[in-house]
A and B are shown apart, each in its own frame.
Chain A
Amino acid sequence: GQQVMQIPQYQHVQEGEDFTTYCNSSTTLSNIQWYKQRPGGHPVFLIQLVKSGEVKKQKRLTFQFGEAKKNSSLHITATQTTDVGTYFCAGNYGGSQGNLIFGKGTKLSVKP
């Protein structure tokens, strides 16, 4: 079935270091969404990528969607302690009856 693989599962960084998480699908996605879940919280929408090769930036966060629309990445420049949480990608395979397939998430910890 449809599956979205996300790596790494955990990432520990020193404050100020960069961080990247990657998502990969075996089949073409209609769009991909990214969410952040703080410890004890619920997923909060960050961004949606729709177009092949799309790149979007939100301050220190850069999101990319692959040319084949099968992979995506989230890069955080110069991490801060406020970046702590689990980052999920969620793939949509299209159609009005589609649903999001979530990756397992990358749990980011930042050491001050």
Chain B
Amino acid sequence: KAGVTQTPRYLIKTRGQQVTLSCSPISGHRSVSWYQQTPGQGLQFLFEYFSETQRNKGNFPGRFSGRQFSNSRSEMNVSTLELGDSALYLCASNKLAGAADTQYFGPGTRLTVL
């Protein structure tokens, strides 16, 4: 069974630009969660999608948004990039909504904002 895939793996942007990251969950999984990982703040929850609906949202500004498609693939978008948005962005998939089940993480997208 293929794992979680994320594209692109690495990205360099400049302040003010916007970026779209993609995540394809494990086949059969309908829940996708997004996390931001930084050395200072650790792993922080961004949002979760289940069956194309955002079910839960973390404490991030509105510049961070996401969506999920009918095939469960998900994208997250960050607009008006700031230097502090430099981070590893991880998506995780699981079968169930919420965090009742194992989260299977993808390899992440390393975003650098210059």
Which residues of A does B touch, CB under 8 Å? 1, 30-31, 33, 35, 41-45, 48, 88, 90, 92, 95-105
Using Cβ atoms and an 8 Å threshold, which residues of chain B touch A42? 90, 105-108
Proximity bits, B43-73, A CB within 8 Å = 1, else 0: 1110010000001101100000000000000
Tell me the complex Cα distance, A90–B102, Å.
Answer: 11
- 16 more CB-based (< 8 A) A-B contacts, given A31-B100, A43-B103, A105-B43: A1-B59, A35-B103, A44-B105, A45-B104, A48-B102, A90-B43, A96-B96, A97-B97, A98-B56, A98-B98, A99-B56, A99-B58, A100-B103, A102-B35, A102-B45, A105-B42
Contact B43–A88 (Cβ < 8 Å):
yes
Using Cβ atoms and an 8 Å threshold, which residues of chain B touch A30? 100
Using Cβ atoms and an 8 Å threshold, which residues of chain A touch B105? 35, 42-44
For the A-B complex, the count of residue pairs with Cβ-Cβ distances under 8 Å equals 68
Which residues of B does A touch, CB under 8 Å? 33, 35, 42-45, 48, 55-56, 58-59, 90, 92, 96-100, 102-108
Tell me the complex Cα distance, A100–B102, Å.
Answer: 10
Contact A103–B97 (Cβ < 8 Å):
no
Tell me the complex Cα distance, A102–B92, Å.
Answer: 13
Tell me the complex Cα distance, A78–B1, Å.
Answer: 33
Known: A33-B103, A42-B107, A45-B104. A96 touches B42 (CB 8 A): no
Tell me the complex Cα distance, A102–B104, Å.
Answer: 14
Tell me the complex Cα distance, A93–B104, Å.
Answer: 19
Contact B42–A103 (Cβ < 8 Å):
yes
Known: A42-B106, A104-B42, A105-B42. A99 touches B100 (CB 8 A): no
